[in-house]
Amino acid sequence: MEAFSLLLYGFGVLLTWKTLALMMVGLILGIFVGVLPGLGGPNGVAILLPLTFTMDPTSAIVMLSCIYWGALFGGAITSILFNIPGEAWSVATTFDGYPMAQQGKAAEALTAAFTSSFIGSLVAVLLITFLAPGIASFALRFGPPEFFAVYLLTFCSFVGLGREEKHKTLISMALGLLLAGVGMDTVSAQLRMTFGWSELYRGINFLVAVIGLFGISEILLTMEERLALRGHAASISLRVVLRVWKDLPRYWVTLIRSSVIGCWLGITPGGAIAASFMGYNLAKRFSNDKESFGKGRIEGVFAPETAAHASGTSALLPMLALGIPGSGTAAILLGGLMVWGLNPGPLLFVEHKDFVWGLIASMYLGNIVGLMLVLTTVPVFASVLRVPFAAIAPMIVVSCAIGAFAIQNAMFDIWLMLVFGVLGYVFKKIGIPLAPLTLAMVLGSRAEDNFRLSMIGANGDLRVFWSNGLVGSITTLALVLLFWPAISRAIALVRK
Amino acid sequence: MASSDEEIVVGDPAAPPVDSPPVASKRSVELVVYLCLLGLAALLAFDNWRTGMGWESTGPKAGYFPFYLALILAGASLFGIVKELAARAKDSETFVNRDQLGRVLQVLAPTVAFCLLTQWLGLYVASFLLIAGFMALVGRIAWWKSVATALVFSVLMFVTFEIAFDVIMPKGPLEALLGF
pLDDT digits (tens, 9 = 90+) for A330-377: 888 888 888 787 888 888 888 888 888 888 888 888 888 888 888 888
A contact residues 454-483, partner B, Cβ 8 Å cutoff: 455-456, 460
A contact residues 109-138, partner B, Cβ 8 Å cutoff: none
Q: Which residue in B48, B103, B135 is closest to A193 by CB distance?
A: B48
Say whether A429 and B96 touch across the interface (CB within 8 A).
Answer: yes
Output the pLDDT for position B4: 41
Whether A236 is covered by a domain: the verdict is: yes
% residues pLDDT > 70 (chain A): 97
* Cβ proximity of A88 and A271 under 8 Å: no
* Residues in a beta bridge with A191: A184
* Cβ proximity of A236 and A107 under 8 Å: yes
Whether A66 is covered by a domain: the verdict is: yes
| Nearest residue of A to residue B122, measured between CA atoms | A411
Output the pLDDT for position A483: 86
Question: Would you kindly state where each structural domain of chain B is located, as residue ranges?
Answer: 23-96, 97-178
Say whether B8 and A237 touch across the interface (CB within 8 A).
Answer: no
Average pLDDT of the residues in A90-100:
85
> How close A391 gets to chain B, by Cα (Å)?
5
- Residues A401-418 pLDDT 10s: 988 888 888 899 999 999
Output the pLDDT for position A419: 95
Q: Which residue in A235, A385, A393 is closest to B2 by CB distance?
A: A235
| A153 pLDDT more than 60 | yes
Output the pLDDT for position A86: 67
Three-state DSSP string of chain A: CHHHHHHHHHHHHHCCHHHHHHHHHHHHHHHHHHHCCCCCHHHHHHHHHHHHCCCCHHHHHHHHHHHHHHHHHHHHHHHHHHCCCCCHHHHHHHHHHHHHHHCCCHHHHHHHHHHHHHHHHHHHHHHHHHHHHHHHHHHCCCCHHHHHHHHHHHHHHHHHHCCCCHHHHHHHHHHHHHHHHCEECCCCCCEECCCCCHHHCCCCCHHHHHHHHHHHHHHHHHHHCCCCEEEECCCCCHHHHHHHHHHHHHHHHHHHHHHHHHHHHHHCCCHHHHHHHHHHHHHHHCCCCHHHCCCCCCHHHHHHHHHHHHHHHHCHHHHHHHCCCCCHHHHHHHHHHHHCCCCCCCCHHHHCHHHHHHHHHHHHHHHHHHHHHHHHHHHHHHHHHHCCHHHHHHHHHHHHHHHHHHHHCCHHHHHHHHHHHHHHHHHHHCCCCCHHHHHHHHHHHHHHHHHHHHHHHCCCCHHHHHCCHHHHHHHHHHHHHHCHHHHHHHHHHHHC
Chosen for mutation from A59, A82, A114, A171 (greatest number of chain B CBs closer than 10 Å) is: A171
Whether A308 is covered by a domain: the verdict is: yes
Domain encompassing residue A393: 2-163+205-409
Chosen for mutation from A158, A211, A238, A397 (greatest number of chain B CBs closer than 10 Å) is: A397
Output the pLDDT for position A269: 64
A contact residues 36-55, partner B, Cβ 8 Å cutoff: 50-51, 53-54
| Nearest residue of A to residue B3, measured between CA atoms | A234
pLDDT along chain B (180 residues), means of 10: 54 64 85 93 88 77 86 93 83 80 89 92 93 90 92 91 80 81
Whether A483 is covered by a domain: the verdict is: no
Q: What is the pTM of this model?
A: 0.86
Output the pLDDT for position B108: 92
Output the pLDDT for position A5: 82
Output the pLDDT for position A198: 80
A contact residues 229-248, partner B, Cβ 8 Å cutoff: 229-237, 239-240
- Residues A182-208 pLDDT 10s: 887 777 778 888 787 888 888 888 888
- Residues A441-462 pLDDT 10s: 888 888 888 888 888 888 777 8
Output the pLDDT for position B10: 67
